[in-house]
């Protein structure tokens, strides 16, 4: 009994908070030991990221194939695209508004400028990769499928998964169903691997946080206090907005909602990887009685493309740069920033912060904003805001999924949440 | 929908997971324990000096005089030769001159700071008023007709220092080398330096603006009177090293394919001294970057620009 309770406690909010505090203290008071523990955290996150491509490929391709085989399931792709775009524009708008309210980039003190300058010199120049809008779209088709997987090029993996799903659904051969079952199996195995790995999550969190705290240093917090506050305020706002939308869509109590969403949100908070939270988010939405076949299609798409945290970081970076260089933020520039950040976040699906922020130069260029010196500044504060950012993003993605899947399906609730009525495995056998 | 696992298999899985975690911790600890260290070994000093009568005339003259005369420009050039907070002349080239004197077998170095410009140092050496010119001297073909140059002891990259806002205002990206190809871009250079010629060749569409001193030039870039300036890395990086906050506003970019080799100048008669200096540099076998020199030679608190 007690062992079961220990295991339960390990996946609770309290274990994560305890690990955060422990990691924070270690980073502050034993920075020498921090790199060692940080490595353990890194290995854990690497393991999670390793599990993402198989989950992604199998979930997307099987759900697209099944949609084509069984048209009654209803295709939501148009609604998905619209919902994602709208939510990302809202996220970018929140970012712009937050920065305008806090004015984080303007009138930096001489001391703050000195700290930033020293930091910029220490990190060196950013790689000069000014591509254009067209190039981003053209890069979607991989020259080599294996290379795309090996490099973790998520936009290309996305393209391949959709193509594979379309082929599986359109070309009906005797072996097609077995292939679908096999993909489903791979999906479930990796989902289970991530579920089990949440037991060692607290240990990993100690390492992740210790490494980040030791890395950031108090100096930078002093220099960029207003930026961090603005970012945290916007992220909290976005997370709360997500919860409200989701509550309205599901028509359930706050308690019920949090019981379902707490695991993916906490997991995102702890690992700072919303992709690694995909399996847990799917589980949470199933728990909220959304149909599994749609969850499998829409959740991976939403998490991969709807990068709400990055959209906010992007919009805020651009406004921060304009304030820093005393450029006037007019309506045209703001509109450019809102839509541009949303597009870039979607186009760099699955990529980490560095290539995303570098790709933002595509937005910065036509409005004459220098971004090269701002990117390292934003990357330096990222560890401070990203736990909350990922949690807010996971919450927002849950909200978008519930919006897209809609109330009708959830209203026609099946009696038991594990009932196979809508489970794809049942329809094939 | 959680997958159910029989109790025994759960135990096996638990053990396997614990083992994997333990191995990871051990591997991380081992990887963390490894470290590297590098050190620079100074050129050993021979205690026994060759007899005077065995020496060629140019080296013998220095030994007989008892001190080495080194010509340097009147104006300091951090980190090569500059006055530190204790009021002493120091820097990379000052230390090198003292080391050369020691290996030649003389105890003293006289730094002659009469020449006002770099070209004046060349003329000074050409007239035999100094044994060597060691003053951040760039090798050039006109100069090599007047003096002998050793092989380079430092190869300085040449850089563009651009105002980030002015560069972005062109709405053509952040690669200064590309943006400055656009017509009408203003580029600042110092009059009478090789950079006037470089500017014309590299950026044929640009408008060159001439300045008299580094101070004026740098102020023009900071205030966006010009979009960018072309200079050597010791100067542009030196400015950013002295005023790190400027990195937010200025962007330094190395011009690929063009370098500035620095060498020691000796009078054209001093062929043996030149060969000896080449041997000295070969044995020193050092390759420095400007950034390493900044670390080695602390900035004077009064600044250098």
Give the span between the Cα atoms of A171 and A185, in whole angstroms: 21
pLDDT at A420 over 50: no
Q: What is the pLDDT of residue B41?
A: 62
Instruction: Calculate how close chain A gets to B223, using CA atoms only, in Å.
Output: 12
Average pLDDT over residues A161-185: 89
Q: What is the pLDDT of residue A92?
A: 93
Kind plus residue range of the DSSP H or E element containing A393? helix A374-405
Residue A261's nearest CA partner among A409, A397, A59, A84 is A397
Cβ A79 vs Cβ A305: under 8 Å: no
Kind plus residue range of the DSSP H or E element containing A297? helix A292-305
Give the span between the Cα atoms of B266 and B259, in whole angstroms: 22
Give the span between the Cα atoms of A30 and A38, in whole angstroms: 12
Residue A130's nearest CA partner among A321, A369, A339 is A369
Q: Where are the domains of chain B?
A: 52-153+263-296, 156-260
pLDDT tier at A142, thresholds 50, 70, 90: confident
CB count in 10 Å sphere of residue B48: 5
Instruction: Calculate how close chain B gets to A116, using CA atoms only, in Å.
Output: 7
Q: What is the pLDDT of residue A167?
A: 92
Asked if A354 reaches chain B (Cβ–Cβ under 8 Å), the answer is no
pLDDT tier at A32, thresholds 50, 70, 90: confident
What's the total number of domains in chain A?
A: 1
Q: Which domain holds residue A264?
A: 2-428
CATH of the domain at A11: 1.10.3860.10
Instruction: Provide the β-strand partners of residue B211.
Output: B190
Q: What is the pLDDT of residue A402?
A: 87
Residue A309's nearest CA partner among A239, A379, A405, A212 is A239
For residue A106, give Cα distances in angstroms to A232, A331, A371. Answer: 18, 18, 15
> In this complex, which of B1, B21, B24 lies closest to A286 when CB atoms are compared?
B1
Give the span between the Cα atoms of B268 and B28, in whole angstroms: 61
Span of A95-109, A114-128, A319-333, B239-253 with lowest mean pLDDT: A114-128
SS3 A139: coil
pLDDT at B173 over 50: yes
Q: What is the pLDDT of residue A421?
A: 38
User: Of all residues in chain A, what percent are helix, strand and coil, respectively (each to 5)?
Assistant: 80, 0, 20
- The full 3-state SS of A62-125, as one line of letters, equals HHHHHHHHCHHHCCCHHHHHHHHHHHHHHHHHHHHHHHHHHCCCCCCCHHHHHHHHHHHHHHCC
**With an 8 Å Cβ cutoff, are A373 and B251 in contact?**
yes
The CATH number assigned to the domain with range B156-260 reads 3.40.190.10
Q: What is the pLDDT of residue B21?
A: 66
Strand pairing of B67-71 and B108-112?
A: parallel
pLDDT at A178 over 50: yes
Q: What percent of chain B has pLDDT over 70?
A: 88
Q: What is the mean pLDDT of chain A?
A: 81
How many residues are present in chain B?
A: 305
pLDDT tier at A341, thresholds 50, 70, 90: very high
Average pLDDT over residues B4-32: 66
B-chain CB neighbours of A116 within 8 Å are 245, 247-248
SS3 A378: helix
> In this complex, which of B17, B25, B174 lies closest to A130 when CB atoms are compared?
B174
Asked if B21 reaches chain A (Cβ–Cβ under 8 Å), the answer is yes
- Encode B190-229: b = buried (16+ Cβ within 10 Å), e = exposed: beebbbeebbeebbeebebbebeebeebbebbbebbbbbb
Average pLDDT over residues A118-141: 70
∠ CA(A285), CA(A289), CA(A293), 5° rounding?
75
Q: What percent of chain A has pLDDT over 70?
A: 88
Strand pairing of B154-163 and B250-262?
A: antiparallel
For residue A159, give Cα distances in angstroms to A57, A141, A238, A297, A355. Answer: 10, 7, 29, 14, 19
Q: How many alpha carbons lie under 13 Å from residue B153 in its C-beta half-sphere?
A: 23
**With an 8 Å Cβ cutoff, are A361 and B173 in contact?**
yes
pLDDT at B56 over 90: yes
Q: Domain B52-153+263-296 class?
A: alpha beta
**With an 8 Å Cβ cutoff, are A361 and B240 in contact?**
no
């Amino acid at each position: 009994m007690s062992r079961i309770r220990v295991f339960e406690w390990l996946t609770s909010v309290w274990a994560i908070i305890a690990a955060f505090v422990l990691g924070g203290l270690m980073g502050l008071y034993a920075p020498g030991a921090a790199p060692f523990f940080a490595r353990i955290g890194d290995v854990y996150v690497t393991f999670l990221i390793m599990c993402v491509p198989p989950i992604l490929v199998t979930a997307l391709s099987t759900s697209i194939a099944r949609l084509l085989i069984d048209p009654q399931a209803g295709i939501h792709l148009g609604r998905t695209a619209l919902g994602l775009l709208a939510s990302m524009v809202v996220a970018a708008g929140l970012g712009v508004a937050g920065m305008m309210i806090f004015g984080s980039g303007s009138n930096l003190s001489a001391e703050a400028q000195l700290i930033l300058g020293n930091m910029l010199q220490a990190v060196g120049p950013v790689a000069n990769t000014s591509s254009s809008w067209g190039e981003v779209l053209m890069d979607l088709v991989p020259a080599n499928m294996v290379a795309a997987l090996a490099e973790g090029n998520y936009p290309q993996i996305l393209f391949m998964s959709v193509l594979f799903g379309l082929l599986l659904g359109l070309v009906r051969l005797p072996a097609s169903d077995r292939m679908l079952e096999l993909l489903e199996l791979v999906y479930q195995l990796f989902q289970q691997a991530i579920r089990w790995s949440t037991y060692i999550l607290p240990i990993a969190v100690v390492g992740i946080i210790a490494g980040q705290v030791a890395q950031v240093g108090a100096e930078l917090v002093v220099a960029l206090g207003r930026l961090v506050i603005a970012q945290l305020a916007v992220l909290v706002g976005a997370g709360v907005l997500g919860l409200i939308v989701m509550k309205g869509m599901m028509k359930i109590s706050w308690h019920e909602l949090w019981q379902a969403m707490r695991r993916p949100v906490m997991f995102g908070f702890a690992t700072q990887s919303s992709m690694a939270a995909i399996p847990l988010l799917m589980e949470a939405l199933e728990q909220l009685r959304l149909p599994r076949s749609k969850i499998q299609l829409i959740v991976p798409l939403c998490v991969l493309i709807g990068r709400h945290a990055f959209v906010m970081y992007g919009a805020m970076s651009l406004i921060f740069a304009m304030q820093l260089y005393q450029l006037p933020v007019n309506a045209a520039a703001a509109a450019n920033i809102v839509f541009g950040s949303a597009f870039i976040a979607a186009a760099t699906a699955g990529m980490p912060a560095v290539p995303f922020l570098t790709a933002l130069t595509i937005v910065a260029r036509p409005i004459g904003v220098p971004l090269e010196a701002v990117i390292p500044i934003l990357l330096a504060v990222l560890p401070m805001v990203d736990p909350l950012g990922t949690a807010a993003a996971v919450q927002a993605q849950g909200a978008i999924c519930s919006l897209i899947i809609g109330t009708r399906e959830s209203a026609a609730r099946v009696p038991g949440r594990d009932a196979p009525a809508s489970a794809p495995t049942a329809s094939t056998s | 929908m959680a997958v159910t696992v029989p109790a025994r298999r759960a135990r096996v899985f638990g053990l396997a997971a614990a083992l994997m975690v333990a191995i990871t911790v051990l591997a991380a600890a081992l990887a963390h324990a490894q470290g590297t260290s590098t050190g620079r070994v100074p050129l050993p000093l021979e205690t026994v000096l060759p007899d005077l009568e065995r020496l060629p005339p140019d080296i013998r003259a220095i030994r007989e005089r008892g001190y080495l005369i080194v010509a340097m420009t009147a104006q300091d050039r951090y980190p090569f030769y500059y006055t530190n907070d204790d009021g002493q002349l120091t820097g990379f080239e000052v230390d090198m001159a003292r080391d050369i004197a020691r290996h030649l077998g003389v105890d003293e170095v006289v730094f002659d700071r009469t020449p006002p410009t770099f070209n004046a140092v060349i003329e000074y050496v050409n007239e035999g008023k100094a044994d060597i010119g060691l003053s951040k001297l760039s090798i050039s073909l006109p100069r090599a007709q007047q003096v002998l140059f050793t092989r380079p002891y430092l190869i300085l990259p040449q850089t563009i220092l651009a105002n980030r806002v002015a560069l972005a205002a062109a709405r053509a990206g952040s690669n200064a080398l590309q943006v400055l190809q656009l017509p009408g871009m203003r580029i600042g250079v110092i009059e009478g330096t090789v950079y006037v010629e470089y500017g014309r060749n590299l950026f044929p569409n640009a408008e060159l603006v001439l300045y008299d001193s580094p101070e004026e030039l740098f102020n023009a870039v900071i205030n966006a009177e010009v979009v960018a300036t072309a200079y050597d890395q010791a100067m542009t990086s030196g400015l950013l090293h002295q005023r790190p906050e400027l990195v937010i506003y200025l962007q330094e970019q190395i011009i690929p394919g063009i370098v500035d080799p620095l060498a020691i100048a000796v009078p054209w008669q001093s062929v043996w001294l030149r060969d000896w200096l080449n041997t000295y540099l070969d044995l020193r076998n050092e390759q420095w970057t400007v950034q390493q020199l900044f670390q080695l030679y602390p900035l004077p608190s009064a600044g250098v620009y």
